[in-house]
Amino acid sequence: MESLEAYLERKYDELRLLDDCLDKPVAPGPPQSIDEVIELKFKLTAALRAQHDLNEWTTTETSWSRWRKRGDGPFRFRYDYQRADLEVIGPSFYEVDDDFRCETIYTSSGMASISALMLASSHVLDRADIAVLPGTYGETLEFIEGYASHLRIITVDETRGGPNSRARSPRILLLDSCALAKDFQACLRASWAQFGLCTFDTTCFSGGSGRIRRVLLRAREDDVPIALVRSHTKLDSLGAEYGRLGSTTFIHPKKNDPWGLSYLGKLPDEMRNAVRLLGGAALPAHFPPYVGSPDYRSLTARRVAAILRNGRRTARTFQEALGDLTAELDFAHGLYVTLRCRQPLDEERARKAASKLSSDLSLGGFPMRHAGSFGFDFAASEWFRDVRSGEFSVRIAVPDLPTAVWDEQSREIARWWNEYNSIP
């Protein structure tokens, strides 16, 4: 458990890390409340973005000026007109062992990355099966069904006992960090020898997560190339959503590099071309300047650990207090849970319920917002659709808050949800 005093001390370290990136630090004093932490963090990140714009005023889309610094914090950028050839030099958002080489393509969002990757694969594979886990991110499946007709979606269960030859039946494994824990673990235990590529959406896992390392080891054991796709707006910005940023990182095992030998060897170049033609290159202003330092990695690990700890406690609280009013409590990432209603919800009713829940708790003095994301220093509620069943529910994103504060708030959420479901 983490006390309020320990929490505020940790948050002060986060604020100082942000403040140290300013050319003219404001030297904030130790925060005295949770609300002050949230306000100061968003003010400091806004100041950092403004600083980037002021320092880079000569850098434009038409690239008219020769006087360009082209950098922010530890990142350096090289590009010509409209960033179509953007090259980023700087620290990785992942903590990858030296046994692997990384090649990263940055984009304007997580969906921009995975959509460009899926489109690029059509220039490498005429047709392929893409095996997915239940609970895979809905917009990813929507894109594949609507715009990647060369890919046929199948479930991971359908691949078991099937042909093992990549040449006869090209197969891609789409592994998603928002899958249920039991399905994710079962996939890690199974053989991947039949897959020619693993595309792993890591968005819901911290960059230093042990789950990511386990996936890399699983891929290496079965000699499967892997592409890590990520939205950095979530867990990589210390809870402040610094800017829309995505990436795909191609992992090359040093001992045996299948990218140079297989039909997938040209996939990174094809993806770069897709990003160029779609106009999906990343904005240099969206790279957080505090990334990469030991303090950043330590603070990120500690804040994600606090969210995970609170998430486990939330699942127990909701299970005891709500029973069958819970939907899913055991996602692989542990960052949010979902609640169902006794009367079936459509999107509009689920949205209104999430908004009313956050509004009522906020008025009651609890740090909660109606927001469609996760990883904040406040709880967030939003509507949620289960792509397997089509049912709508309300998602509760667990915050980085002191243990006792969040325990009280989660009990209040359960009380509110019970009352909401008792209204005819």
Average pLDDT over residues 298-309: 97
| Burial category of 167 from C-beta neighbours within 10 Å (exposed 0-12, middle 13-18, buried 19 and up) | exposed
Are 376 and 239 within 8 A, CB to CB? yes
Tell me which amino acid residue 163 is. Answer: P
Domain containing residue 322: CATH number: 3.90.1150
pLDDT at 265: 78
Identify whether residues 224 and 205 lie together within a single domain.
yes
Measured CA to CA, the distance from residue 372 to residue 294 in angstroms comes to 30
Residue 311: inside a domain: yes
Question: Which is more confidently placed, 230 or 73?
Answer: 230
pLDDT at 298: 96
Identify whether residues 253 and 348 lie together within a single domain.
no
pLDDT in tens, 35-50: 999 999 999 999 999 9
pLDDT at 31: 96
pLDDT at 254: 54
Residue 60: inside a domain: no
Domain of 362?
A: 295-422
pLDDT at 223: 87
Identify whether residues 300 and 413 lie together within a single domain.
yes
> What's phi and psi for 201, nearest 5 deg?
-80, 105
Identify whether residues 314 and 247 lie together within a single domain.
no
Question: Which is more confidently placed, 253 or 384?
Answer: 384
Domain end call among 254, 286, 318: 286
Q: Total structural domains in the chain?
A: 3
pLDDT at 167: 42
Measured CA to CA, the distance from residue 230 to residue 69 in angstroms comes to 27
Identify whether residues 90 and 167 lie together within a single domain.
yes
Tell me which amino acid residue 335 is. Answer: L
Average pLDDT over residues 42-71: 80
Are 113 and 229 within 8 A, CB to CB? yes
pLDDT at 399: 97
Domain containing residue 140: CATH number: 3.40.640.10
Ranges 113-117, 134-138, 297-301, 327-331: which has the least confidence: 134-138
pTM of the model: 0.92
Identify whether residues 120 and 243 lie together within a single domain.
yes
Tell me which amino acid residue 97 is. Answer: D
pLDDT in tens, 222-264: 889 999 999 999 999 999 999 999 999 998 755 554 444 455 6
pLDDT at 21: 95
Residue 357: inside a domain: yes
Identify whether residues 281 and 302 lie together within a single domain.
no
- Report the 3 state secondary structure along the chain: CCCHHHHHHHHHHHHHHHHCCCCCCCCCCCCCCHHHHHHHHHHHHHHHHHHHHHHCCCCCCCCCCCCCCCEECCEEEECCHHHCCCEEECCCCCCCCCCEEEEEEEECCHHHHHHHHHHHHCCCCCCEEEEECCCCCHHHHHHHHHHCCCEEEEEHHHHCCCCCCCCCCCEEEEEECCCEHHHHHHHHHCCCCCCCEEEEECCCCCCCCHHHHHHHHHHHHCCCCEEEEEECCCCCCCCCCCCCCEEEEEEEECCCCHHHCCCCCCHHHHHHHHHHHHCCECCHHHCCCCCCCHHHHHHHHHHHHHHHHHHHHHHHHHHHHHHHHECCCCECCCCEEEECCCCCECHHHHHHHHHHHHHHHHHCCCCEEECCCCCCCCEEEEEEECCCCCCEEEEEECCCCCHHHHHHHHHHHHHHHHHHHHCC
Residue 63: inside a domain: no
pLDDT at 101: 78
- Lookup: tokens for 18: 């942000």
Give the neighbor-by-neighbor strand order of the sheet with 379-385: 336-339, 392-397, 379-385, 368-370
Question: Which is more confidently placed, 128 or 166?
Answer: 128
Residue 80: inside a domain: yes
Average pLDDT over residues 326-350: 95
pLDDT at 240: 92
pLDDT in tens, 259-294: 444 556 789 999 999 999 999 999 999 999 999 899
Percent of the chain with pLDDT over 90: 75
Longest dimension (CA), the chain: 67
**Residue 52 pLDDT > 50:** yes
Residue 192: inside a domain: yes
**Residue 319 pLDDT > 60:** yes
Identify whether residues 162 and 232 lie together within a single domain.
yes
**Residue 424 pLDDT > 60:** yes
Identify whether residues 16 and 75 lie together within a single domain.
no
Residue 62: inside a domain: no
Average pLDDT over residues 22-38: 95
Ranges 62-66, 109-113, 263-267: which has the least confidence: 62-66
pLDDT at 252: 72
Identify whether residues 130 and 10 lie together within a single domain.
no
Give the pLDDT band of residue 387 (cuts 50, 70, 90).
Answer: confident
Average pLDDT over residues 313-337: 96
> What's phi and psi for 243, nearest 5 deg?
180, 160
Residue 204: inside a domain: yes
List Cβ neighbours of 51 (8 Å cut-off, separation of 6 or more). Answer: 22, 23
pLDDT in tens, 144-199: 999 999 999 998 877 765 444 444 568 999 999 999 999 999 999 999 999 999 99
Give the pLDDT band of residue 307 (cuts 50, 70, 90).
Answer: very high
pLDDT at 163: 46
Within 10 angstroms of residue 186's Cβ, the number of other Cβ atoms is 14
Average pLDDT over residues 300-306: 97
Identify whether residues 242 and 391 lie together within a single domain.
no
Identify whether residues 206 and 266 lie together within a single domain.
yes
pLDDT at 65: 64
Percent of the chain with pLDDT over 70: 92
